């Protein structure tokens, strides 16, 4: 059974009192959210899978073997356990949990989802197999990207950039300019067009429907070409990869 109460002395932060199993059950997700928050900047700085080197796939923050989220939780709770009962101020726990991830490069590996799955199953042995296939993996990723039509590629990557909040306010403003979009992306119209109250769901030269970016609604340009004399793909991918770094 788990109990929550507020410590009377010197703080209004809630306190958990109960067994360790229930703490892990109810606070594992909370701890996962903290990890996502403290690794967001680090993941962007690394910008690629630290094992296979892939940079244009979604990246995960993986705990190094022996320094897993549950390992850290258990280590912290040892200081607050009396018999079978844990009693810990949640603010104290959060502070200690964040501190336990420092230095972050000794606690976290940045991995693509494939390498992350392999690492979770067998940290070193299976990752060595992945490493031996590094060139093959990168080639396959490149070929997969090349097979997707440029319009579909743009849609997919824009959704990723929006979801990860990688478009700064400055970049959003630039993308609403025809000159910047022409110079950077090789397209003839602004990549983004801010929606107006009077706009229908479908406007010329933009995909139907809007996307919410930092609290505002935008249409995304649909005019993309991939011909020998007019190929927008490499311009878009170059811009996209810079934002991931």
pLDDT at 169 (0 to 100): 95
| Residues 101, 64 contacting (CB under 8 angstroms) | no
pLDDT at 48 (0 to 100): 87
Q: Which domain holds residue 111?
A: 3-134
Query: What is the pTM for the complete model shown?
Result: 0.47
Tokens of 61: 């923050």
SS3 239: helix
% of the chain beyond a pLDDT of 70 = 84
End residue of a domain, out of 92, 107, 134:
134
Q: What is the mean pLDDT of residues 18-46?
A: 86
Q: pLDDT digit string (tens) for 190-227?
A: 999 999 999 999 999 999 999 999 999 999 999 999 98
pLDDT at 229 (0 to 100): 86
Residue 224 has a CB neighbour count (10 Å cut-off) of 22
Does 44 fall in a domain? yes
Does 9 fall in a domain? yes
Kindly tell me if the per-residue pLDDT of 5 is higher than 70: no
Q: What is the mean pLDDT of residues 4-14?
A: 52
* Whether 15 and 122 share a structural domain: yes
Question: What is the secondary structure of 50-96 as a DSSP string?
Answer: TTT---SS-EEEEEPTTS-HHHHHHHHHGGGEETTEEEEEHHHHHHH
pLDDT at 184 (0 to 100): 96
Q: What is the dihedral of CA 229, 139, 161, 48, to 10 degrees?
A: -130
Q: Looking at the 3D structure of the chain, how many domains does it have? A: 2
* Whether 123 and 239 share a structural domain: no
* Whether 130 and 9 share a structural domain: yes
* Whether 85 and 195 share a structural domain: no
Kindly tell me if the per-residue pLDDT of 6 is higher than 60: no
pLDDT at 146 (0 to 100): 54
Residue found by looking up tokens 């995960």 in the block: 60
Q: What is the pLDDT of the chain when averaged over all its residues?
A: 83
pLDDT at 195 (0 to 100): 96
* Whether 9 and 130 share a structural domain: yes
Kindly tell me if the per-residue pLDDT of 136 is higher than 60: no
Pairing of strands 211-213, 216-220: antiparallel
Question: 115 exposed, middle or buried (CB, 10 Å; 0-12, 13-18, 19+)?
Answer: buried
Q: In whole angstroms, what is the distance from residue 180 CA to residue 176 CA?
A: 8
């Amino acid at each position: 059974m788990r109990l929550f109460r507020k410590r009377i002395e010197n703080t209004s932060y809630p306190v958990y009192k109960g067994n360790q199993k229930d703490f892990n059950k109810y606070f594992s997700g909370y701890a996962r959210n903290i990890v996502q928050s403290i690794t967001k900047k680090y993941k962007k700085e690394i910008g690629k899978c630290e094992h296979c080197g892939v940079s244009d796939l979604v990246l995960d923050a993986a705990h190094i073997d022996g320094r897993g989220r549950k390992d850290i939780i258990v280590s912290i709770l040892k200081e607050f356990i009396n018999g079978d009962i844990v009693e810990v101020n949640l603010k104290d726990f959060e502070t200690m949990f964040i501190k336990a991830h420092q230095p972050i490069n000794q606690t976290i590996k940045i991995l693509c989802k494939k390498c992350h799955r392999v690492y979770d199953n067998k940290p070193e042995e299976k990752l060595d197999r992945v490493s031996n296939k590094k060139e093959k993996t990168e080639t396959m990723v490149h070929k997969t990207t090349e097979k997707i039509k440029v319009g579909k590629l743009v849609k997919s990557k824009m959704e990723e950039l929006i979801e990860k909040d990688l478009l700064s306010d400055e970049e959003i403003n630039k993308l609403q300019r025809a000159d910047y979009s022409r110079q950077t992306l090789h397209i003839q119209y602004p990549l983004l067009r801010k929606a107006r109250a009077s706009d229908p769901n479908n406007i010329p030269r933009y995909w139907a429907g809007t996307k919410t970016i930092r609290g505002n609604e935008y249409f995304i340009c649909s005019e993309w070409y991939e011909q020998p004399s007019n190929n927008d793909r490499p311009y878009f991918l170059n811009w996209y990869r810079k934002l991931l770094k």
